């Protein structure tokens, strides 16, 4: 009666007394768990559900309820264990299998998640969320083709779900289906206009397709939504470099390195932008930082060689070209530039 009158604190007190008077009353323990949950007292609800499980006959729904509360508390391993017990009691329930799959995925148990979600969609192929989860589990296992198919099924069943379009676009990108990725991510952006991740993912695929202006606009929108993202500034800087907008790129990449100074790619691209702008001191600082962050990368040394050539520091240019060619003997542009420099130096020596 107290629960029906929405006197939840009173209900909790009454049920506590009932359980104290007769600890064998499993029904009261279950009701207490539900009241605790309704009051937002999730930790107490966990204890009450466990007490109810111990007192009552095996009940898949009780284990599932416990698992849901544990998932809300981000106690992912315990949640997955609870859903395992629910599924053991009701092994062909697609909803329970789906919950087990998502909980297992959150707990880092990708193999179990895949198995559970695969069974779930097998028993009931009409649930978009289960297909989305199967896609996520497939990605975690490196089954990228399966992930594409699962996300495609999810958007077919629920075309209004922007998160599934976003996941489908990213999965297409992972298998280098860039045209398909662009289509999916454009849809994601239309459904998730205030989601910076959707704009950034769209920017990435546009860049891969050589559509640098569109990529720049996509990253600019992502930055309006999340102005402190080094990744968004880096993407925008890449797109601006692709259009030879070197000053704009410099500004974007300076922001990226301000937010994340240990980003070797941002430092490298900043150095390249500054080389193009003949801002030699700033270029040198950024390129040296990139080398410091990744001494085995050839690209910073090759760019330093170009900088030293531009400033008539020939001996240093030779040294950087030599290092770059040793680190990456398959970099044809660098090898050609190095060979041309050595040929020119030999010609001068003969003269």
DSSP 22-44: -TT-HHHHHHHHHHHHHTT-HHH
What's the token pair of residue 337? 């530039």
Compute the radius of gyration of the chain from its Cα atoms: 29
The pLDDT, as a whole number, for residue 191 is 98
Q: What is the pTM of this model?
A: 0.86
CA distances to 16, 147, 154 from 105, in Å: 35, 14, 17
The pLDDT, as a whole number, for residue 4 is 52
pLDDT in tens, the chain (351 residues): 444 546 788 877 888 787 777 777 788 888 888 988 988 999 999 999 999 999 999 999 999 999 999 999 999 999 999 999 999 999 999 999 999 999 999 999 999 999 999 999 999 999 999 999 999 999 999 999 999 999 999 999 999 999 999 999 999 999 999 999 999 999 999 999 999 999 999 999 999 999 999 999 999 999 999 999 999 999 999 999 999 999 999 999 999 999 999 999 999 999 999 999 999 999 999 999 999 999 999 999 999 999 999 999 999 999 999 999 999 999 999 999 999 999 989 888 876
The pLDDT, as a whole number, for residue 2 is 44
User: Where do runs of H (alpha helix) occur along the chain?
Assistant: 8-21, 26-38, 42-55, 60-72, 76-89, 94-106, 110-123, 128-140, 144-157, 162-174, 178-191, 196-208, 212-225, 230-242, 246-259, 264-276, 280-293, 298-310, 314-327, 332-350
CB 290 within 8 A of CB 264: yes
């Amino acid at each position: 009666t107290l629960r029906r009158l929405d006197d939840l604190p009173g209900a909790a007190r009454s049920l506590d007394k009932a359980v104290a008077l007769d600890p064998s009353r499993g029904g009261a323990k279950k009701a207490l768990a539900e009241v605790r949950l309704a009051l937002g007292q999730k930790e107490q609800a966990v204890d009450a559900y466990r007490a109810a499980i111990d007192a009552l006959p095996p009940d898949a729904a009780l284990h599932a309820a416990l698992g849901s509360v544990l998932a809300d508390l981000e106690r992912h391993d315990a949640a997955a264990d609870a859903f395992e017990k629910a599924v053991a009691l009701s092994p062909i329930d697609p909803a329970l299998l789906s919950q087990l799959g998502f909980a297992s995925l959150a707990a880092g148990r990708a193999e179990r998640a895949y198995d559970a979600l695969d069974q779930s969609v097998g028993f009931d192929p009409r649930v978009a969320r289960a297909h989305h989860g199967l896609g996520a589990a497939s990605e975690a296992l490196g089954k990228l083709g399966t992930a594409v198919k699962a996300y495609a099924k999810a958007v077919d069943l629920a075309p209004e779900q922007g998160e599934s379009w976003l996941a489908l676009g990213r999965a297409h990108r992972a298998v280098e289906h860039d045209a398909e990725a662009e289509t999916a991510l454009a849809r994601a952006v239309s459904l998730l206009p205030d989601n910076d991740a959707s704009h950034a993912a769209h920017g990435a695929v546009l860049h891969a397709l050589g559509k640098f202006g569109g990529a720049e606009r996509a990253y600019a929108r992502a930055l309006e939504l999340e102005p402190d993202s080094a990744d968004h500034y880096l993407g925008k800087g890449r797109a601006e470099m692709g259009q030879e907008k070197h000053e704009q790129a410099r500004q974007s990449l300076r922001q990226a390195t301000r937010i994340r100074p240990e980003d070797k790619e941002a430092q490298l691209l900043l150095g390249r932008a500054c080389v193009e702008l003949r801002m030699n001191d700033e270029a040198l600082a950024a390129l040296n930082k990139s080398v410091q962050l990744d001494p085995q990368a050839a690209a910073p040394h090759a760019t330093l060689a170009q900088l030293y050539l531009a400033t008539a520091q020939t001996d240093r240019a030779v040294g950087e070209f030599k290092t770059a060619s040793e680190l990456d003997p398959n970099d044809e542009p660098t090898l050609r530039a190095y060979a041309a420099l050595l040929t020119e130096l030999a010609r001068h020596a003969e003269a």
